[in-house]
Amino acid sequence: MQAEHCGYVHVYIRKGLTGTLLPRVEACPAVLVRVSLRSGTTFDVAAVHMAPGKESQDSRSKQFSAIDQGLSLGSKMVLGDFNVRPEEVRDLIAQGQYRDAEYCGKS
């Protein structure tokens, strides 16, 4: 995979919880983790940094699909820097039946 941009992706897991690193997805800079709660419940988390730029819409769609396939079929959460445009969100989250939660501010 050729780097499209640079940056870091982190997942922080609270003390007392268990995090198991999942296999890396080559299509996207991401960290995939299975989190186990004290109750025994597990869910998968992907922290992503997807391709930037308006011209990268197809790349982001492929990256999101690869990330979704890298997670279990149960409960899962994908978060991070998606670099998506507003018109992309509906099609992107429909790939894995996700719901959107967003912060509409500036950083």
Outline where the chain has alpha helix (H): 57-70, 89-94
Cα dihedral 42/47/27/73 (nearest 10): 20
Q: Cα separations (Å) of 85 from 23, 34, 37, 101?
A: 28, 28, 34, 15
Q: How confident is the model at residue 61 (pLDDT cuts 50, 70, 90)?
A: very high
Q: What is the pLDDT of residues 1-32, one digit of tens each?
A: 445 556 788 999 998 899 999 999 888 889 99
